[in-house]
Each structure stands twice: as structure tokens, then as C-alpha cells.
Amino acid sequence: MQEQIYQRLSKELNIPLKQVTQTASLLDEGNTVPFIARYRKEVTGGLTDEQVRLLENKLGGYRNLEQRREEVFRLIEAQGALTEDIKKQINKAVTVTELDDLYRPFRPKKRTRASIAREKGLEPLAAAILEGAVKPDEEAVKYIDPEKDLVDQAAVIKGASDIIAEIISDDAAVRKALRHIYRNKGSIAVEKRDDAAITTYNDYADYQEPLAKIKGHRVLAVNRGVKEKVLEQKVNVPEEKAVAVMFDSYSNENQNEDCREIIASAATDSYRRLIHPSLEREMWHELFEKAMEGALVVFKENLKKRLLVPPIRHRRVLGWDPGYRTGCKLACVSETGELLETAAVFPTAPRNDRKGAAGTVLHLMKKHRIDCIAIGNGTASRESETYIADLIKEQDLTLEYTIVNEAGASVYSASPAAKKEFPDLDVAERSAVSIARRLQDPLAELVKIDPKAIGVGQYQHDMPAKELDSALTGTVENCVNRVGVDLNSASAALLSYVAGINISVANKIVLKRNEIGTFNNRTQLFEVPGLGPKVFKQCAGFLRLPDSDNYLERSAVHPESYELAGKIMVELEIKPEGLGDPGAVPPLSGEDLRALASSLQAGEPTVKDILEEFRKPGRDPREDLQRPVFLKSVTELDDLEPGMTLQGIVRNIVDFGAFVDIGVHQDGLVHISEISERYIKHPLEILQIEAVVPVKILAIDRERGRISLSIKEAEREKKNQDD
């Protein structure tokens, strides 16, 4: 059975069977996805971490399918009803739904109208009517029994019809045919409840759309409205067509007209009472599952882009957590993120103490040599930005500022980890520290926060927690291990996402580091309680020692390959002092690389990766991405007019478009139709989080604070100007 699973995965993922089998074996041995993707390329054929994780998820799903198959076999066999025909059907089933359909007739049921009719002995009559050779009225007389509540022929035939209705409802082939009709001919109909006052869902007050065309974000919106008891939804299908399929499955030429009439009536009853309510729920659940999968893809991609925003190194930052009544909390941090000093200022309403705030800010700047300000984008952000921009202009400062997405900062600030790190600070002061550090190293700071709170998804709070946590945790793990972690400075939160390390081991690493001062080499990890050879193998390559005298300890070369790295240096005559200098490592053609790997009896991908590390050890992959935008001035909503072209920063991407920060209080929306001249299915085909894009203002709704933007119009305008 495992071989069949591997073959199915190979076909579905378009990956050679050998790679699927070998990767599955690595997973079964307990290896982590990041380790497999980075250090077992020879075995996997170079699968990426996303591909390995997808394979892992689907492998688990198919193994669960096989467990369910065995369970269905067992349950039916226990009833003595397992025929060769049923065996064949069970073996052919390719989804859990198909297996459940096959098991449905044998599943223990509560007392139903059909089971009551069977108890009264009407099953032979139902079978005779389905065969169609009897006259129902005459045959029904034999079953009249007032003591069983079968007082006349009508009562008898009704009981037999109930049995026929349930037989049709339990037929796997019928349900499969009806699903096809629902998916292709069905539609969703939504209405707003009369007593619902919430206006958020007015667009869905009287809404209909075919199931085959409805977009995922609409499904999620309707689902939320139903949960909030604002909306009511139902699935409609052509009843005549559905009933005809059911009737045709149980009618034949041998049946007389009276029997066919009873079967037709039973089919209608079966559809309305049994099948439609069941399939309506199933279809809606199917739509929601599909919408959730799509939303997770968007969430994971947005989260990855947010986590991999390039760090701003070697700058002293003033973190600014904006506020009104309680003031703006400030936190000065050093180049390494060390807290230097906190303060509070009140330049915004109701106090509007701009002069007092200026004195404090200028004092902090001079005292701690601050060269940039990171402003949180929450409440009072724009007022704070305006104040800082005015201060820069009035004082002729060389200072710059940038807006930092503070989503989740309050969650972190109130967490046990934040309280432990800064026991003497209040929540807002901790938030200011977090905002400053997010600019310095977004990844290191954001891993302290539940991924759901980072604010880059759509309807994430409506999704099943288990699926959401699994998907987002995997994304964070991929990002952390792709970048690598400084063993001597990383927090326990960051270490816990390194391959093979859980939060318990991460805390023990920090305790050991506090005890010995610093780690001098990776092998010292064996001194950490609970970190044995298995964990070491998984994590060692992702933990770096940037200040080590041993070049390899600073790189992503795994300790298991140190000996191979030494042989490569000898073979290519690379001096230790030349490591890290691209010019000192000779370029190799594909043929030369293969020859070198062969002579060293090593895998070609591993040799290639080691050579890359020789050229740029521990290079941060985030360096190639777009850096945060620094500003010195600000724009107000009143300054904007339709037709203006501006630069904006993509803050969030959803199915229907992208929200772009253009420097005013409200992010503007670029609808998917306004992103590109060419047709795109999803904004992610073109855009990514934190990208800087040109936008043209299409419309401004000042009353509701809505701004409609267009990227394609801005690009078209620029092209015309260039021409």
C-alpha cells in the first residue's frame, strides 16, 4: 500500500518516484523539513523546503486515508456483509468521502423512519416494489396490522417508501452523481437577517453566485457573517435534475407504473429530507475548505515576505509607540537591540505638548546618538509622523524615520516572555522596544509573536486553529532556517524555530550560554542538557558563530561536512585566509564540479553548497530583498486628489487585491483588476509584502476613509511620459 501512496504522490506532485520514496524515508526517520531540504539534496533530488513540507502533509493525508480504508473493511466485515463487490469498491475509493459513502449503508443509525418501518417487517415489500413486479396496493394488504400502526394500505406503502428513500440516500453512486450536479449546477444564496443591524455585510444582503465561480474571500466573508448570525446561506440546485438522477438509478423496464410512481415519490422525499440537507452542508464545507487552503497560501506567502524584510544593521533606533491620552512611549535601542532608555512624550491630542516632546526627543537623540526613528502604525501613528516630520524640518535634522507595522506588538508586550525580559517596563514601553527591534531585525523580533497576530492574512481568525498553526509555524521555520541564527545572541523564541529544537531545549541553550558566556564552537552544544546527537544533526548547520576563528563555524556548512570541506580546500588550493573572498575560490563549470564531487566521493549538491559558502559565508539572503523606505516628510489625506501618482508600500495582500500605504492614515486598496494590464488570477503573481510600487489615485471616499488606487494606471502614465 505504501508503494501505491508513493506512486500517487509522484504523479500528483510531478516528482520522480525515487525522490518521493527517499524523502518519505527521511521524514519517517524523524528528520526535519529544513534539514532534509538543506543537507540531504542528494537524497531528495534538490527538493525545496516548500516541496518537502507539501510532500509531508500529503503523505500524512494519504496514510490517514489508508487507515480509514482498513477501518471500513473491518467494520463492514464485523457485520458479515463484506462481499467481493464491496471489497472492490472500497479498494477503488480515492477519498475519505468515497469511503464514507460506501460505509453509509452499514453505519449504525439512530431510529429513523426507515428503521421503524423495517422493525414493522416492511423491508420485503420495499424490495418487491423496487423489483417492480407486484401491484403495491394488493401486496400492501398482507402487511396491514393495526397493532403495528399499519392501519391501511396507505400506511403500509408509506413505510415501504421510507425504506426506499433511505436506500437511495445511502447509495454511494447516487451521492457521487449528485455531487457532480451540485458542483456544476448549484449556487449559493445569501440573505441578511431582518434583525441584523450590522452594515458590514450589506454587500451580501441579497447575494447569489454559482458554486463553481464563487471566490474564496467571498466564501470566508459569508461564513463569518453566518457565524455572527447576521447572514443566512443556503445551497440551491435544480431539484428536478437531481431527483431525475436518483429515480433513474432505481427504475428499470421491468417495473410496472404503480411501482415506478412509488419509487419516484420516494426519490423526491429522499432528496428533500435526507440527501439535500446532507450535501448542502458538505458542499458548503468543501467550499470553506478550499477557501481556507487558498487563504493559507496567501497568509504563508505574506508572512514569509514580512519575516524576510531586510534588517537595518549598525543603526541606533528610537522606537515610537504612538498614542493619544496616555502619550507616545519611546525606547532607545543600541545597534545590537539593547535597551538604552525609555521615555514618554505627549505631542498629540489631548495635551498637544509639542515643545516638551521636542526637548525630550532631541535630548535622547544627542545622548544616544540616534540616527533613525521607527514609528508604529497603530493609533495616532499619522499624527506622530506629522509631528516628527515637522521636527526634522524645523530643526534641520539629518534624522530619518520609517513606519513599522506594529501588528502583534501588544500581544508580545503582554506575554510572559516580554515580562521576563523587561520586568520593570509597562506594556507600552515594551511595545516601543519591539517596534525599534522590528526595524533592526524583523525576523528575530517577529518570531516572539504568535504568527496569527502579525496581521498579514485574511479571515485567519475564522480558520481551524490546528491547520492555521501548522501552516504558519512551518513558514516561520522555513524563514528562520533559511537565514540562519547567531548562536550567541539569539533569543529562546528564535532558537525554538531552528530545526530540531523545541522551546524547552531553546531555553536550556540560553541558560548554558549565560553560564559559559559565549559558545566558541558548535560541538559545545552537546553540553546542553537534552541536546543529543539526533538534535545536533538537525540544528547544527543552522546555528552560526559569526565571531569564531574557525571559518566553517561562521558558515552554513554542516559539521558532518567539515572533513569534506577541508578536502575541497586542498583539492582547489584554497587558503584559509581566502575563505569568504569570491576571488579566492576558482569558478567551476558543471563538468568540473561533477568531476570534483566524483573524485571526493561526495554528492554534487553538497560540494556546490560548500563552495557557495566559501565564496560568501553566512551571507544573509535577506540582503537581496527590498529594504524599508525611510522618509523625512509626510502627506495628509486632505493633500490627496484623484489623478495623483504616488509611491506606496504594499502592506497586505488578499485574494481581491492589495492594501498599499501611501503615507496617510488609511491604506488604499488596489483591486486585483487594477494591478496589471494582463489578466492575473491572484495578486501574488505580481506583488509581494513590503514592495514599493507606483500608484495612481482613482477615487477618495473621505467620509468612509477609503482610497481606491491603481498600479496599472500609474505604470501606463509613466510609460507614456517616457515615450
pLDDT in tens, 35-58: 999 999 999 999 999 999 999 999
Of 646, 619, 633, nearest to 709 by C-alpha is 646
| Per-residue pLDDT, 723 | 65
For residue 645, what are the β-bridge partners? 696
Task: Name the range with the highest mean pLDDT among 142-156, 372-386, 572-586.
Answer: 142-156
Encoded amino acid at 38, one letter: R
pLDDT at 540 exceeding the cut of 80: yes
pLDDT at 646 exceeding the cut of 70: yes
CATH 1.10.1040.10 assigned to 317-440: no
| Per-residue pLDDT, 644 | 87
pLDDT at 618 exceeding the cut of 70: no
| Per-residue pLDDT, 527 | 96
- DSSP secondary structure string, 422-486? -TTS-HHHHHHHHHHHHHH-HHHHHTTS-GGGG--SSSGGGS-HHHHHHHHHHHHHHHHHHH-EE
Q: What percent of the chain has pLDDT over 90?
A: 71
- Let me know: does 457 contact 472? Beta carbons within 8 Å: no
pLDDT at 632 exceeding the cut of 60: no
Q: Which CATH superfamily is domain 2-106 in?
A: RuvA domain 2-like (1.10.10.650)
> Distance (Å, rounded) from C-alpha 440 to C-alpha 622?
13
- Let me know: does 568 contact 596? Beta carbons within 8 Å: yes
Q: What percent of the chain has pLDDT over 70?
A: 96
| Per-residue pLDDT, 639 | 75
| Per-residue pLDDT, 440 | 93
Kindly report the backbone phi and psi dihedral angles of residue 121, in degrees, each rounded to the nearest multiple of 5, phi listed first. Answer: 85, 25
CATH 2.40.50.140 assigned to 637-722: yes
Name the DSSP letter for residue 702.
T
| Per-residue pLDDT, 627 | 63
Least confident of 28-42, 79-93, 629-643: 629-643
Of 612, 596, 614, 615, nearest to 604 by C-alpha is 596
Report the half-sphere exposure of 396 (CA within 13 A, side-chain side).
0
Q: What is the pLDDT averaged over residues 227-248?
A: 94
Q: What is the pLDDT averaged over residues 134-142?
A: 94
Name the DSSP letter for residue 521.
S
| Per-residue pLDDT, 309 | 87
Q: What is the pLDDT averaged over residues 389-405?
A: 90
Encoded amino acid at 21, one letter: T
C-alpha cell belonging to residue 699: 477615487
pLDDT at 137 exceeding the cut of 90: yes
User: What's the whole-model pTM score?
Assistant: 0.83
Question: Residue 410: which pLDDT band, with cuts at 50, 70 and 90?
Answer: confident
> Distance (Å, rounded) from C-alpha 615 to C-alpha 603?
19
pLDDT at 512 exceeding the cut of 80: yes
> Distance (Å, rounded) from C-alpha 114 to C-alpha 102?
19
Task: Name the range with the highest mean pLDDT among 202-206, 597-601, 682-686.
Answer: 597-601
| Per-residue pLDDT, 287 | 95
Of 494, 579, 570, nearest to 539 by C-alpha is 494
H-type helices in 274-326, by residue range? 276-307
| Per-residue pLDDT, 146 | 93
Mean pLDDT taken over the chain? 91
| Per-residue pLDDT, 582 | 83
| Per-residue pLDDT, 109 | 83
| Per-residue pLDDT, 631 | 59
Least confident of 311-320, 450-459, 677-686: 450-459
Question: Residue 629: which pLDDT band, with cuts at 50, 70 and 90?
Answer: low
Q: Return the domain boundaries, the chain.
A: 2-106, 317-440, 637-722
Task: Determine the number of helices (DSSP H) and then strands (DSSP E) in the chain.
Answer: 31, 15
Of 526, 438, 519, nearest to 485 by C-alpha is 519
Question: Residue 468: which pLDDT band, with cuts at 50, 70 and 90?
Answer: confident
- Let me know: does 100 contact 93? Beta carbons within 8 Å: no
> Distance (Å, rounded) from C-alpha 207 to C-alpha 222?
10
| Per-residue pLDDT, 8 | 94
